Amino acid sequence: MSKISVYIIAYNEAEKVAATIESARWADEVIVVDSWSTDGTPEIAAKLGAKVVQVEFKGFGDLRNQAIAACSHEWIFSIDADERCTPEVQAEIRSIINDPASTDVWQVPRRNYFMGRWIRHSGWYPNFRQPQLFRKDAMRYDLKPVHEGYVLQTDKPIGTLKHAIWQFPFKNMAEVMHKANRYSSLGAEKIVHKKISMGSALTHGIWSFVKHYLFKLGFLDGWAGFVIALGNFEGTFYRYVKALEMQKGPAWKAPAAPSGGNKKI
């Protein structure tokens, strides 16, 4: 039978990582790739039998490539600290990796829960990220700091699992705002080369709200859909404003001293 490694990337996920590890203990190896958490995340992981690997954070693409390198087995299943593998996905994965005719790379649908409900719209279901199940030599990630892409190293087509894992992206509203701040900072680095103004930042933010709330039917998700759309507005708007701040440099800095501060009255 083929063996599989599960890797979990985590940073200060003490409240979530135990449940994620428990959902993946069926695997032959569980690796937690940590970036020097300060809340006890690595200690919790080690206590549950996971192998803990410390990696300096240089962006999510690099982090995931380091995670691949740490895996020992032919097959790899990537799961984040806010995701949970279900028994149905476990059984499907075992069937796939033990099939000699199986394709090499698989994307996995995610069922997201937020504000106490399953989010069926808002672009959150089925919510795919990079392929999460793959042979070790079949895929790598690019080096983008956030929303990293992937590079296939196989000619076989990408498959799609029938069953979905669960995701709990936000514990509370404080975490919504924290992630919006962190991801907008990382995302600003990707667009700093573009022509940006405050007007274009506002336009992009408004479009992100409209896209998620109207075109992706977020209004059908009730208040949770509105919060998701508003969060996308804020994250997008601040991403562009932060990139503009990088472009402006000293022009947006405070003056060294008040004008006329040395004048006598």
For residue 150, which of 223, 251, 50, 78 has the smallest C-alpha distance?
78
For residue 87, which of 8, 26, 28 has the smallest C-alpha distance?
26
**Model pLDDT, residue 264:** 55
**β-strand partners of 133:** 77, 106
DSSP collapsed to 3 states, 157-197: CEEECCCCEEECCCCCHHHHHHHHHHHHHHHHHHHCCCCCC
- Amino acid identity of 168? F
**Model pLDDT, residue 260:** 58
Handedness of CA 173, 174, 176, 180 (dihedral sign): positive
Query: pLDDT 10s per residue in the chain (265 long)?
Result: 899 999 999 999 999 999 999 999 999 999 999 999 999 999 999 999 999 999 999 999 999 999 999 999 999 999 999 999 999 999 999 999 999 999 999 999 999 999 999 999 999 998 899 999 999 999 999 988 778 899 999 999 999 999 999 999 888 888 889 888 988 998 998 899 999 999 999 999 999 999 999 999 999 999 999 999 999 999 999 999 999 999 998 888 887 776 655 555 5
End-to-end Cα distance, the chain = 87
DSSP state, residue 218: G
**Model pLDDT, residue 172:** 86
For residue 116, which of 218, 229, 224, 227 has the smallest C-alpha distance?
224
User: What's the burial of 228, exposed, middle or buried (CB within 10 Å: 0-12/13-18/19+)?
Assistant: buried
**Model pLDDT, residue 261:** 55
- Tell whether pTM > 0.75: yes
Q: Residue 48 is encoded by which pair of tokens?
A: 């549950």
Q: CB 152: neighbour CB atoms within 10 A?
A: 15
